[in-house]
């Protein structure tokens, strides 16, 4: 997949930057790279329930 390839390239780039960084930044960059390497976790989309009858009743009691 295109996203997987992007994540691999981004992780490689971030690791290369970490090799040249000071210890504090290096630790943060390596953490970022590990996040790019983790498999994506998708969450199912939960739609809110709608009371259709309530929305159809417009209350035209004028």
pLDDT at residue 24 in the model:
96
pLDDT at residue 4 in the model:
87
CA distance 19 to 47: 45
CA distance 51 to 5: 44
11-34 pLDDT, tens digit per residue, is 999 999 999 999 999 999 999 999
The phi-psi region of residue 38 (left if phi > 0; otherwise alpha if psi is between -120 and 50; otherwise beta) is beta
Angle at 7 between CA 5 and CA 12, to 5 degrees: 95
Reported as a pLDDT band with limits 50, 70 and 90, residue 45 is confident
The model's pTM: 0.60
């Amino acid at each position: 997949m295109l996203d997987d390839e992007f994540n691999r390239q981004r992780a490689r780039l971030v690791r290369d930057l970490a090799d040249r960084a000071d210890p504090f930044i290096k630790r943060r960059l390596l953490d970022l790279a590990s996040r790019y390497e983790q498999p994506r976790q998708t969450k199912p989309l939960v739609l809110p329930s709608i009371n259709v009858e309530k929305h159809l009743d417009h209350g035209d009691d004028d």
